[in-house]
Amino acid sequence: GKMVPKGAEGWGGLLHVYANKIGPLLDTLAFNIPVGPNCLPLRWVINFQKGGTSLFVLYLMKRYNNFSTTAYLYLALHGTYGLMWLLKDQIFPDPNWSRKATVPSFLAGFCSVLLPYWYAAFATVAKHKTVSPALAGFAVFLHTVGIVTMMASDTQKYFTLKYKKGLISDGWFARCRNTNYLGEMALYSAYALLAQERLPWCVLSYVW
């Protein structure tokens, strides 16, 4: 039979619904929204948004004349993540993002997920938010833990599956099946903290 992750036996019904209903729907939305051929690797739009974050934040800083410590802190954190993502894509890319999508899926992915991710930057810089030293320190802590967790677990996943296919149940994945996504949740939470608004948390909630 199929290998079931440790601790997942009691979630059989939920896993069945996800595998047979939710998973295929998400796959259709991400790659196969009609019409047209699957012609654009999804990684192109992901890399554009993540890699372009530094430029977007710098534009906001100039546009709204905000060169405060908080604005530079946001630039440093989110900009670093964008750079690390581009390096990750070159060194150990996720093959799923290399799959080709239709033009509608390509645009839908940007407009419904990637573009809203930038709202935290807009809220922080355009609205001249100021964070306390304690909040700034916690955001840096959360972001550092998140980016290290994401990069390290994705590295293990890439090189393990390169030489041995199957379920990974050791290292970063010994206790959590989605350690890489947990890391992304932590680092994106840092951006929402700096924005100090409810809307960035709403964006993260519906994406997650």
Q: Write out the two tokens for 8.
A: 């997942």
Q: pTM for the full model? A: 0.86
- Structure-block tokens of residue 196: 């100090």
Residue 19: per-residue pLDDT: 66
- pLDDT given at position 61: 98
Q: What is the pLDDT of residue 22?
A: 76
Q: How many CB atoms lie within 10 A of CB 110?
A: 16
Q: Which residues pair with 145 in a beta bridge?
A: none
One pLDDT digit (tens) per residue for the chain, 208 residues:
445 555 555 556 666 666 677 778 788 888 889 888 999 999 999 999 999 999 999 999 999 999 999 999 999 999 999 999 999 999 999 999 999 999 999 999 999 999 999 999 999 999 999 999 999 999 999 999 999 999 999 999 999 999 999 999 999 999 898 999 999 999 999 999 999 999 999 999 988 8
Tell me what pLDDT residue 10 has: 54
pLDDT value of residue 2: 47
How far apart are the C-alpha atoms of 95 and 117, rounded to whole Å? 22
Nearest to 121 by CA among 45, 205, 53, 46: 53
- Its sign, for the CA torsion 34, 36, 37, 40, is negative
**Helices 69-91 + 133-163 axis angle, to 10:** 0
Q: How far apart are CA 22 and CA 28, in angstroms?
A: 10
Q: How many CB atoms lie within 10 A of CB 115?
A: 12
State whether the Cα torsion 194-197-201-202 is positive or negative.
negative
H or E element, residue 40: strand 40-41
Query: Please, which contacts does 33-36 make with residues 24 or more away whose CB atoms are closer than 8 Å?
Result: 33/102, 33/104, 33/105, 33/108, 34/102, 34/104, 35/102, 35/104, 36/102, 36/103, 36/104
How much is the pLDDT for 28?
82
68 Cβ partners below 8 Å, 6+ apart?
128, 130
